[in-house]
Structure 1
Amino acid sequence: MKTLQIKTAQNVNINFTVATVFQRLSAFALDNVVKFAYFYFSNKLFGFSMLDDSLNGDGWTIKAVEVLFLIPITFYSLYSEILMDGQTIGKRLLKLKVINIDGFKPSITDYIMRWFLRVVDFNLFLLLFVYVASLGLNDQYVLLVVIFLFGKLVGFFLILFTNKSQRFGDIIANTIVITLKDDVKFSQTILEDIQFDYKPTYANVIKLSDNDLRIIKETYKTAVKHSDFKTLIKLRSKILEVTDIKSIHKSDLEFIDTVLKDYNYYTQSM
């Protein structure tokens, strides 16, 4: 497996394992099962034949409804990755995640870019394919199949042969797909999962370094695991002393968790 080493602003190295092409294909297959299930059950439930009867054969209206019906499938990976923090259902089941090449959470623009460029990764030469198909020539059948397959395999070959296993959309959006099954798990790094609309509470967290945060997070996780409340009290006191923060949280757990997320918010935004 390929690994990626990211150096943070404080010169702390974090290693990630890049998802393989087969892991990504498996996630892609699972996502297509979800899409097919939506299409199948929705069609069973609403039925376009019933729609045709109710609209008295109004072709334009039927087509418009069909387009609306397909929107959840068309934009599935885009809204899934935005709402599920870099994951679709398939990626979550296989413990894969999209992150920025610098180790941070991608922006909404990054997600939109990698989604839009799927047209290159999986549908290259689609217009040429349609053109050849429209000719209706029997002797063009082999060419038609070759064009279709090659267009679908562009993303596959890019993931397979690029250094960071990136398809074209990843390269342009500056993103990679990592596996969370790594020996050094995502939860063991200083990174935290924060929502795109997250509102920070303590600006003074920037007085901490990446190494400080790593120690805080490791101590915090261990204390929570063993219900060591004395350590949590000491950890909170130390953070307050170093940062001059005026805490608005009464709970040590909530305060430290907020500090971890706030630090990620401010350092990702820089």
Structure 2
Amino acid sequence: MAQLRIPTTQNVTLEYETASIGERIAATLLDGVVQAGWVILWLTLLFGVFDLESGRNEFTLGMIIIVVIVLPLFVYHLVSEALWQGQSIGKRIMKVRVISLNGTPARFTQYLLRWVLRIVDVSMFYGIVAIACILGSGRGQRLGDMAAGTAVVRLNRRQTAADNSLFGSDYDPNYRVTFPQVASLADHDVRLIQELVTQSEKRGAYHILDDVAERVRTLTGIETNMPNHEFLLVVLRDYGYLASQAAAH
């Protein structure tokens, strides 16, 4: 499995496993099943409603088909990846995601460029260009990824205390947020903090968190004498709890 290595300003290298060709093809096929289901559903509904024998509704039916079938299929990958932070339904099932090469979530312009070049990668040559690029790029990138500065990576990596703090589902109903100021942090900031804490735990090199903790204190205005590693774990836990509460409402 190819490794995507991302150096950070903290002199720590973040490591991701790039998605295999098999995983990406499977995700594409699953997306195809979703799209086919959408088409079948709407065609069944429309042909059940419109009387085609009279010929009077052909124009209206054609316009509806364009709006509710053709257009959604055309923008499916762009919209789903932009809304779900680099994932389509197929990618979610296969647990892979599009990210920027610097480790942060991809921007809309990057999703857009990947989507435009998908015509060359996948549509025009039946995926041959995409497969050739993925095999030869060294980072598992198709042509659209190379142009956009993105990669598709696996999400099922080993969990650590940092992962559980941010993404765990074991929040106590009586949980009390220690630092409500963490709500001012951006998602990509928190994900970078999580990765740095994870790397420090793997290496036992907790000194690399000194600058990170100081930066978080500066950004949020938090004042605490809590040890840096413990402080950042609480920040991740608080942020995860607040995010889960926001999603629930």
Normalised TM-score (structure 1):
0.61
Cα 1:78–1:8 change in 2 (3 A) is same
Q: Which one-letter code corresponds to 1:256 in the other structure?
A: V
Match of 2:17 in 1: 17
Compute the displacement of 1:155 (Å).
Answer: 1.3
Cα 1:200–1:9 change in 2 (3 A) is farther
Match of 2:106 in 1: 106
Distance in 2 of aligned mates of 1:109 and 1:45: 35
Match of 1:35 in 2: 35
Q: What's the secondary structure of 2:50's corresponding residue? A: helix
**Does the 8 A contact of 1:114 with 1:170 survive in 2?**
yes
Cα 1:101–1:259 change in 2 (3 A) is farther
* Residue of structure 2 aligned with 1:164, choices 112, 128, 139: 139
- Where does 1:54-203 land on structure 2 (aligned, <5 Å)? 56=56, 58-59=58-59, 61-68=60-67, 69-124=69-124, 150-183=125-158, 188=163, 201=184
**Does the 8 A contact of 1:87 with 1:98 survive in 2?**
yes
Match of 1:226 in 2: none
Kindly provide the CA deviation profile for residues 195-219 of structure 1, in whole angstroms up to 9, marking residues without a partner as x: xxxx96269xx9xx9699628x97x
Compute the displacement of 1:160 (Å).
Answer: 2.2
Cα 1:245–1:9 change in 2 (3 A) is same
Compute the displacement of 1:161 (Å).
Answer: 2.2
**Does the 8 A contact of 1:104 with 1:191 survive in 2?**
no
Cα 1:35–1:10 change in 2 (3 A) is same
Kindly provide the CA deviation profile for residues 135-171 of structure 1, in whole angstroms up to 9, marking residues without a partner as x: xxxxxxxxxxxxxxx4542112211222111111111
**Which blocks of at least 5 consecutive residues in structure 1 are unaligned?**
125-149, 193-198, 219-237, 262-270
Normalised TM-score (structure 2):
0.66
Q: What is the alpha-carbon root mean square deviation over aligned residues?
A: 4.1
**Does the 8 A contact of 2:19 with 2:152 survive in 1?**
yes
Q: Which has the larger radius of gyration?
A: 1
Compute the displacement of 1:94 (Å).
Answer: 1.0
Compute the displacement of 1:64 (Å).
Answer: 2.6
1:245 aligns to 2:221 (yes or no): yes
Q: How many residues are treated as equivalent by the alignment? A: 201
**Which blocks of at least 5 consecutive residues in structure 2 are unaligned?**
168-181, 202-212, 224-230, 241-249
**Structure 1 segments of 4+ aligned residues over 6 angstroms from their partners:** 189-192, 238-241, 258-261
Q: Which one-letter code corresponds to 1:245 in the other structure?
A: G
Kindly provide the CA deviation profile for residues 77-124 of structure 1, in whole angstroms up to 9, marking residues without a partner as x: 111111111111111111101000111111111111101111111233
Cα 1:28–1:214 change in 2 (3 A) is same
1:5 aligns to 2:11 (yes or no): no
Q: What's the secondary structure of 1:178's corresponding residue? A: strand
Higher mean displacement: 41-50 or 5-14: 41-50
Among the aligned pairs, what percent are the same residue? 30
Q: Which one-letter code corresponds to 1:66 in the other structure?
A: I
Cα 1:74–1:246 change in 2 (3 A) is same
Q: Which one-letter code corresponds to 1:177 in the other structure?
A: V
Distance in 1 of aligned mates of 2:6 and 2:93: 25
Compute the displacement of 1:14 (Å).
Answer: 0.7
Q: What's the secondary structure of 1:42's corresponding residue? A: helix
Cα 1:82–1:178 change in 2 (3 A) is same
Cα 1:211–1:62 change in 2 (3 A) is closer
Distance in 1 of aligned mates of 2:54 and 2:118: 36
Cα 1:12–1:210 change in 2 (3 A) is farther
Q: Which one-letter code corresponds to 1:94 in the other structure?
A: M
Match of 2:205 in 1: none
Q: Which one-letter code corresponds to 2:197 in the other structure?
A: R
